[in-house]
Structure 1
Amino acid sequence: YVHDLPGDGRGINTDVDGSWNHIHHNRVANVAIGYNDQMSGWGNRWEYNTVTNYRVYGMGFRLMDARLAQPSKASSSNGSIVRCNNIVGPVGDRAKALGVGAMMNGKFQSNNMPLIWISKNMQTYWSAQGNTWNGSSALPSKTPTLSSAGC
């Protein structure tokens, strides 16, 4: 249980090239970002995690690559599996349950993420780069419907 981190504290973070990890069944509260896939995270599985009272993002994936026209194999998240996470209780009206700067082959399934942010560039390549939301290649709404199928 990670909690009460001041400033820009991240509860659980994969650092540069942190790949093929299974981050699961964790609890994080009162942080800037609950879970963060920082740079070049390939194949990380984020499952059954909970974050409450997040100030910026509940979960973040390669936020720094938002400026890229396409995801980069040198820095963007690749092959992330994000399933059955419960992201609730944002602090203030600007916090988002999910933030994604750049990603390819990402699979989001059955997460409770009431408000999400996907970079403008990623919105243009979401489907073409193999990303899915609850099995659909369509870009999800900023306020996706909750589905707990398979959790």
Structure 2
Amino acid sequence: MSLAPPFTAEIAHAKVKKAQDLWNTQNPSKIATAGYTPDSIWRNRSSFLQGTAAIEEFLTKKWQKEKSYTLRKELFAFTDNKIAVQFWYEYQDSHDGMKWKRCYGLEDWTFAEDGKMRKRHMSGNDVEISDGERWFKEGVDVNKVDISERHW
């Protein structure tokens, strides 16, 4: 199945899960080159960047801070070449005493004809959590964790 636009519900869902799996590798070079156009434009919270070299540098710094990173993405909405995603990830903050944190966020993606992302805008908020509040403990299948309103 081609994961390039125009998207159907099946393709959009597969595209989101492929991105989730790619990000969970925590391999900045692979993520930047496999997922994004060479001139891709990003907004990640308050950071603005462009191009795969900048994306790779950003992700390298991200995972120097965010240890034990585990991500879940879910399709929120889509059109022919755009996808909106809801996501959650957990990590230990190496800049804050290795406290556990969870990020809740939304992304909007726009794709080029080849299926690589040419625009990504991310908004997210981190909250501190205890080890007992973690959803994505080692060995868990992130896709099977019940993410519902009772967790908020």
| Same topology, TM > 0.5 | no
Compare relative contact order (CA 8 Å, sep 6+) and give the higher one, 1 or 2: 2
Q: TM bucket by the smaller chain?
A: under 0.3
More helix by share: 2
Largest Rg, 1 or 2: 2
TM-score, length basis structure 2: 0.22
